[in-house]
Structure 1
Amino acid sequence: MFQLARIGPRFAMAVLLAVAPLAARAAASDWRGDARAEVRVITATDSVHGDTLDVGVEFRYPAGWHGYWRTPGDTGIAPRFDWSASHNVASASVSWPAPSRLVIDGLQNSIYTGDFILPVKIRLTQPHQATRIALMLDYATCANVCVPEHAALSVDLREGPGAPSSEAQALATALRTVPGTPAQAGIRVTRSSIEATRTGRPRLSIELHSAASAFQSPDLFVEGAGAGLPAAPRVQLSEHGRHARLEVDLPPTTTRTAPLRLTVVDGARAATFAGPAVATPASATHASINGSL
């Protein structure tokens, strides 16, 4: 007569991977979605080697439809990630490529279009062990209307040498679109201040110097100035385009003691840095800095 034995979680995971379809053990999940948007999870390696994994959440929007950045703006919905059904995943940190701006009837939106990847750094509970990456994703796809979407995605990886997968190059390319420091973008922040105006609205003023190449059409995405997204900056270029002054009117009700989070986007280059802290208009603060942040 056979005797039943208690099965440990590690053995159970090994059994699960052994019986899983080959496609589920590849470097990508299946696509999930509809004619308005599709999404999948991809991995940079075809197996687990070490204590981290480089993963991506890849979106595919058809022409006329778009998704949203981490700070979506006045009308959008940022993606929400739930990794709790994963196995051997301690944490997951999402990186955000630089967005573009879409203005509809005066409403500011920071969006993504087409095919793009959000890189994710996953830290493992147990290094060198088989891992299941399971993501429950809520996001939006918008055109003339916005439609909420939901997707359940998973990829199973065995322990192994961690060889590059067929998706490794796409992930590496996506990582290069994530804003780095100003210095990495060839930009120096020479002044950052918030000033009171005659209208009572605080005004953010940023001055930038470009050592690498002239500025073309810089935009500034301001996070932390209340709900929504401030409008695009007024831009003044000088010194043959090497110097840029950007001014943004902030909401009049802004009250914040932590520094703003600023992302400057100029063509293919982008940088994220801390701005000055916001105070109420009656006691607006001034702060100047030398060098990059």
Structure 2
Amino acid sequence: MPDGTHMAALHIVLEPGWKTYWRAPGDVGIPPQFDWSGSQNIHAISTNWPTPVVFFEQGMRSVGYKSEVVIPLHMTAQTTDRDMHLSGEMQIGICKDICIPANLRFTATLPPNVTRPDPVIAAALTNRPYTATEAGVRGVTCSIEPGADGALVLHVRIDMPSAGGTEYVVVEAGNPRVWVAEPDSHRDEGILHATTRLVHVEGGSFALNRSDLRFTVIGSSRAVDILGCSL
């Protein structure tokens, strides 16, 4: 890239009928995990997840990809005029009739010279969810109340145009140790409402920061990525 960073991508192709999962996979999915510890001359890596689809397994909702997915990786070098040596391991879940974990290992040498954009990566980058501004989100408010067994109950009110058809809301707590239940959601007079439960995986108490909450609305026309909420 002209600024010295590098854009590459992982291209995962699945056998017919198989699926894999998004970063927030749902109740029965396996969240993907990366390990970049074997890489050299790489200061930081950010993952750009394309818009996922919603599917149901055994009556439970999952979020992910069918057939194939291209996951762009935006990397910053420690020394911009030297090659970056990418060595990664990815743990993912793949599902057909059953769900199983899979380990993928890959390596690549990324030269420092500027090249023309790869059309496959460019297409994946344009397939990301809309930002709140792009989607016309007018406001997001949250209320929190105690639930049973140490859980917190989160009520979300999203003022935004419809994303098309049935709208699914995915809630991420911003803390990997906090489990989030599949939300119940509905529209009422143009407002999208969602309610979910949050529980610490160790069963203890926890703090919830509204600015760390992340909401993804997935509809038939678009998906929308929303960061944070107010009172």
Does the pair score TM above 0.5?
A: yes
Residue aligning to 1:164: 116
Asked whether 1:250 is paired with 2:194, we answer no
Residue aligning to 2:153: 202
Percent of counterpart pairs with the same letter?
A: 22
Residue aligning to 2:57: 104
TM-score (norm 1): 0.64
Partner Cα separation in structure 1 for residue 79 and residue 152 of structure 2: 52
Structure 2 unmatched ranges of 5 or more: none
Q: Whose radius of gyration is greater, 1 or 2?
A: 1
Asked whether 1:272 is paired with 2:226, we answer yes
Residue aligning to 1:233: 184
1:190 shift after superposition: 5.0
Residue aligning to 1:57: 10
CA contact (8 A) 1:140 1:149 kept: yes
1:185 shift after superposition: 1.9
Residue pairs, 1:6-17, within 5 angstroms: none
Asked whether 1:79 is paired with 2:36, we answer no
2:106 to 141, 148, 153: 153
Q: What whole-Å deviation, never above 9, does each CA across 1:135-185 have from its counterpart, x for those lacking one?
A: 22222211121222222212223343x1215xx122122122323431122
Residue aligning to 1:132: 85
1:99 shift after superposition: 2.7
CA contact (8 A) 1:222 1:229 kept: yes
Q: What whole-Å deviation, never above 9, does each CA across 1:54-106 have from its counterpart, x for those lacking one?
A: 12112112332111122222222222212222222112111222333333344
Structure 1 unmatched ranges of 5 or more: 1-44, 277-286, 288-293
Partner Cα separation in structure 2 for residue 62 and residue 272 of structure 1: 33
C-alpha change, 1:273 and 1:125, in structure 2 (3 Å) is: same
Partner Cα separation in structure 1 for residue 41 and residue 146 of structure 2: 51
Structure 2 counterpart SS, 1:77: coil
C-alpha change, 1:264 and 1:148, in structure 2 (3 Å) is: same
- Name the count of aligned residue pairs: 220
Aligned-residue CA RMSD (Å) = 3.0
The residue identity in structure 1 corresponding to 2:166 is S
CA contact (8 A) 1:202 1:251 kept: yes
1:110 shift after superposition: 2.0
Report which of the two has the higher share of strand: 2
1:275 shift after superposition: 3.3
CA contact (8 A) 1:130 1:158 kept: yes
Asked whether 1:217 is paired with 2:174, we answer no
Partner Cα separation in structure 1 for residue 192 and residue 84 of structure 2: 48
The residue identity in structure 2 corresponding to 1:208 is D
Deviating more after overlay: 247-256 vs 228-237:
247-256
Deviating more after overlay: 124-133 vs 223-232:
223-232
Partner Cα separation in structure 1 for residue 143 and residue 74 of structure 2: 34
C-alpha change, 1:207 and 1:93, in structure 2 (3 Å) is: closer
Residue aligning to 1:282: none
